[in-house]
Structure 1
């Protein structure tokens, strides 16, 4: 029986070593449209997600969003699973119930709904300066 326990322990350690470390959501993320960037970081107890709008392209339609620059877009979103956070988002003057899901080191999805009927999903990619 001790030999079986050692075998199981060795398998668990081997599997843990082979699994990639969870990528941090911390960094600057750009919407797929390449006209908006958000800075995200873990906050609160270290498992919650916070973020703010940090950059807008110089496209004319972005003038209306300039008042939201350097303002929070997510405050203490609660983790709901590995790489997934849920809570209230503040996007471009709209308050939404939303979810941010990290799919890989460099890809996230931001989904939000206002009034439970107007919903939008954005693909976000890690911005490399």
Structure 2
């Protein structure tokens, strides 16, 4: 049985070394709705995630949100695992608790809840590639 445990550990190490690490989250990410872009970057000690709202489409409904351009979306979400951050978000004037999870080099999921019961999830795609 001792040999079996060592074999499992060895296989795990091989898989971990072959599995690609996620690319940096640094860059501009566009919500799936294609009307909002957020600049994300690692900050603090290099494990936190910071972000700023950098672009809104010219759709009529976005006129009310223009005042939030170039304001922070998050100022330091804590890393909660490989490619995952949790913490406070402020999106278009709404304070939320949520998470940002990187699925791949070019895709992330942003999930947030305001007032504990109003929750929304968006897919985000790298815009700067």
Paired residues for 1:43-58 under 5 Å: 43-58=43-58
Where structure 1 has 5 or more consecutive residues not aligned to the other structure, the ranges are 1-9
Q: Secondary structure at the match of 2:25?
A: coil
TM-score, with length taken from structure 2: 0.86
| Aligned positions, number | 123
Deviations 1:56-109, CA, capped at 9 Å, x for gaps:
111111001100000000111001111110000001101000100001110000
Q: Specify the alignment match of 2:6 in structure 1.
A: none
CA 1:18–1:85 in structure 2 vs 1: closer, same or farther (change >3 Å)? Answer: same
Greater Cα shift, 10-19 or 95-104: 10-19
Q: Specify the alignment match of 1:69 in structure 2.
A: 69
TM-score, with length taken from structure 1: 0.86
Question: Following the alignment from structure 2 to structure 1, what is the Cα–Cα distance between the partners of residues 45 and 122?
Answer: 27
User: Is the counterpart of residue 81 in structure 1 residue 81 in structure 2?
Assistant: yes
Paired residues for 1:3-82 under 5 Å: 15=15, 17-82=17-82
Question: Following the alignment from structure 1 to structure 2, what is the Cα–Cα distance between the partners of residues 113 and 12?
Answer: 35
Shift of 1:23: 1.1
Question: Following the alignment from structure 1 to structure 2, what is the Cα–Cα distance between the partners of residues 13 and 118?
Answer: 41
CA 1:84–1:16 in structure 2 vs 1: closer, same or farther (change >3 Å)? Answer: closer
Whether the 8 Å CA contact 2:94–2:114 is kept in 1: the answer is yes
When Rg is computed on C-alpha atoms for both structures, the one with the higher figure is 1
Q: Secondary structure at the match of 1:24?
A: coil
Where structure 2 has 5 or more consecutive residues not aligned to the other structure, the ranges are 1-9
Q: Specify the alignment match of 2:128 in structure 1.
A: 128
CA 1:13–1:112 in structure 2 vs 1: closer, same or farther (change >3 Å)? Answer: closer
